Structure 1
Amino acid sequence: MRDSRSDASIGELIQRLVSDGRTWVQAELAVWKAVAASRKNDAILGIAFGVGALVLTFAAIGALLVGLILVLREPLGNGGATAVVVLVALAIAGILGKMAATRLGRAFSGDGL
């Protein structure tokens, strides 16, 4: 007695192989779509949390600068305290900006290593 599978012609076997291959590819695509959707959601939440952290950081820096002005107001007066805090903050921002420009210039130059 012969198995019904062994009675299949070469054409039928190739047709089954192509069908199974198509099913496998569709299943793989479904898995990768699910992975991509999950990673997209993680990325969106990560960006949202990062933006929230930046907003709070800027608020804290603003509060710190206002506090420095209030502390320096007594010896320097309102205008002097504001001027000192603004000039020091701008100097720090300038130094950080120069460092950023140097690093970015190095990163995007075509010089290689």
Structure 2
Amino acid sequence: MLKQTDKVAGVSEGVGDLLQRLVADGKSYAQAEVAYYKTLGSEKVGALKAPLVFGVVALLFAHAAFLAGCALVWVALAQVMNAALAGLLTVVILGGLAGIFGYLAYSRLPLPKEPAK
């Protein structure tokens, strides 16, 4: 906090005293700013904690559903052909889908432009 300048026997503070007080005031201001941003950040993190947990759980269940779908494809193919061949065909189908989605993701990446010569 700023202090009121005191005059002792008609003599004002020296430049060194003023600079020392200025540095102390700057330190306290900086500490107050850091405390403010820590509080603000912890409030934001606290507000996002529950949605993040629910999002991760939702991703785990989506992954489980995807694996069940993969097993379903294999079981469906195993009923019309040999189980080993159905497994191989399932891997090829799912690998092809992964390749298509990977290519689509790659093709939509923003590529850096070459600098003009």
TM-score, with structure 1 as normaliser: 0.61
Show CA shifts across 1:45-94 (max 9, x none): 62x44333322222111111111211221111212221222111100100
Residue 30 of structure 1 pairs with residue 62 of structure 2: no
Counterparts of 2:67 and 2:80, CA distance in 1: 21
Identity %: 29
Among residues 74, 79, 104, which one is paired with 1:74 in the alignment? 79
Q: Tell me the distance in 1 between the aligned counterparts of 2:65 and 2:31.
A: 51
Residue of structure 2 aligned with 1:54, choices 34, 50, 59? 59
Query: Quick one: which of 81, 90, 98 aligns to 1:93?
Result: 98
Q: How far 1:21 sits from its partner (Å)?
A: 7.9
Q: State the distance in 1 between where 2:108 and 2:100 align.
A: 12
Count of aligned residue pairs for this structure pair: 105
RMSD of aligned C-alpha atoms? 3.5
Listed as ranges, the gaps of 5+ residues in structure 2 are 1-6, 13-22
Q: What is the distance in 1 between the residues matched to 2:41 and 2:50?
A: 12
Shift of 1:44: 8.4
Q: In structure 1, list runs of 5 or more residues that go unmatched.
A: 1-7, 10-17
Residues in 2 aligned to 1:31 and 1:96: alpha-carbon distance in whole angstroms: 45
Q: Which amino acid aligns with 2:101?
A: L
